[in-house]
Chains A and B, each alone.
Chain A
């Protein structure tokens, strides 16, 4: 009862709050400005009469919760994260999947001559962000009995460089390049080889925003798609801009990563940028249910919207 009364007054409160302030749209990133987000920084928002503020993030920026709480209209999420959020009643919806294939992988020293991802779990240490579904999947598949699992150093490779028996989770498009640059030969094993391949770096918004402002969301997606096209064609100007915001990655690496990530973004031939399909979401939902991340399957068609 009380709740209903409150909900009735919410639109009014929203209206009052929007008075006198320009409708700036916030896009929350879950990491620092890096080529992974190149297309967002390249997007011609002005052309679509959108005023977008891109909020850089860091390790563990809770973008799904930010979208749910309304502290950002748009955010970058991972497909698996989105499914878990929806199953908890945080209704976030995917609009544009930048990475068609998950760039997550495990990197190990090439000198160990490991032949498959399972070998990584036969000894030494593996740094993983435990709690992520892929880590649970790897544990189920290979067991962590013989390996020492330590927290993920979030992109830092110092421990890796110092210890031959140290393997760590990585973005295939990022850390291995940094390690090679330091003179260490690495071998990477894509997690997608195990069959777990969620859409990654996904632009998402809330069901609410999509319902209330479909035209704005549509222009946002159009601008983002144009941005990614432009970035894939010529990443240089945007890389320079991002390098200024994030000097911790050098200019050469920006160029290299932009090149290496191309196949992940372009996907299979004739795939439209950002595309998503129901079967892919269905597979993911099935895997998450199987791993116990969600209590019951949720409808795949509600997870994404193509505009």
Chain B
């Protein structure tokens, strides 16, 4: 009953939208070479099962590695930035660069730097997903409750103790917010990287588009969004496990 109540709300719009689209395409209101019927998309997934599964595996691996790299370096960078106001002033503007860099514009350069293949795809996923990790971690670390900070100082805690026992744990909810955003971006970054560097769902989209196979394009796009959703779910799960005993957001 409880699971039904959780599944039902998102299921209703899904069924409604799918049915409407199917109707519109079947009745000829929308031409199928512009927007495929949902049934055609599912059929394309079915007919190209192994090709799509392999592509999805490749994209998942690249997105996951890129995401893991941006998690590690992003958190480390934020901790460094939080260490002094001067460091923050000197380097934070360059972190913002990652957010504003149009990955589609630098992707061809990534190929030249890293070569064709997975390295480029990982780099692309990394570049677009690191900023939300840095920004959220930093703001989390900097917004520790001043009263608790005073308490730590009063008891003579060292700066590193304060960081690991107080500021970092207190920042976790915000860090997870950053990771949720980064997870979706890593998938986008991987797909963009694959347009240029080759492989995975990005290549499937590119090739199917060239062949005017809109059904297959949408099939690959659907799988890419499922991948983003799965990553998002994974972060939610970790967040729940880590926070549920003490933070209001996961109780």
A-to-B contact residues, CB < 8 Å: 2-3, 6-7, 60, 62, 64-65, 68-69, 81, 84-85, 88-90, 125, 129-132, 148-151, 153, 156, 158-159, 162, 293
Contacts and interface: CB of A to CB of B under 8 A. Distances in A.
Interface in B208-224: 208-212
Given A130-B210, A293-B211, A2 B108 contact: no
Contact of B31 (A69, A125, A130, A293): A69
Given A85-B33, A150-B116, A150-B198, A130 B212 contact: no
Nearest to A71: B34
A151 B212 contact: no
14 contacts: A2-B27, A6-B27, A7-B28, A85-B33, A88-B33, A89-B33, A129-B210, A131-B206, A131-B207, A131-B209, A148-B116, A151-B195, A151-B196, A158-B108
A127 B19 CA distance: 41
B197 interface: yes
Interface in B163-200: 195-198
Contacts of A68: 31, 33-34
Contacts of B31: 68-69, 89-90
A221 to B, nearest CB: 25
B22 to A, nearest CB: 14
Interface size band for B:
20 to 34
Nearest to A1: B27
Given A84-B212, A158-B112, A130 B207 contact: yes
Given A2-B27, A153-B108, A153-B111, A69 B211 contact: no
B203 interface: yes
A46 B212 CA distance: 35
B116 A125 contact: yes
B241 to A, nearest CB: 40
Given A3-B27, A151-B198, A159-B111, A65 B34 contact: yes
Contact of A3 (B28, B34, B207): B28
A207 to B, nearest CB: 13
A190 B108 CA distance: 26
Interface string B28-39: 110111100000
A159 B197 CA distance: 12
Contact of B203 (A88, A130, A153): A130
Interface of B: 27-29, 31-34, 108, 111-112, 116-117, 195-198, 203, 206-212
A62 B31 CA distance: 15
Contacts of B196: 151, 153
A85 B32 contact: no
Contacts of A60: 206, 209-210
Contacts of A129: 210
Which 4 interchain pairs have the tightest Cβ spacing? A131-B210, A131-B207, A150-B116, A90-B33
Nearest to A151: B198
A248 to B, nearest CB: 13
Nearest to A153: B108
A132 B210 contact: yes
Nearest to A129: B210
Most buried by B among A130, A148, A293: A130
A131 B34 contact: no
B33 A65 contact: yes
Contacts of A65: 33-34, 212
Contacts of A153: 108, 111, 196
Contacts of B207: 130-131
A140 to B, nearest CB: 15
Contacts of A293: 211
Contacts of A2: 27
Contacts of B33: 65, 68, 85, 88-90
Given A130-B203, A153-B111, A85 B212 contact: yes
Contacts of B112: 158-159, 162
Contacts of A69: 31, 34
A159 B31 CA distance: 40
Contacts of B203: 130, 151
B199 to A, nearest CB: 9
B208 A3 contact: no
Given A90-B212, A150-B117, 18 more contacts: A3-B29, A65-B33, A68-B33, A88-B212, A89-B33, A130-B210, A131-B207, A131-B209, A131-B211, A132-B210, A148-B116, A151-B196, A151-B198, A158-B108, A159-B111, A159-B116, A162-B112, A293-B211
Given A130-B207, A150-B198, A151-B206, A81 B32 contact: no
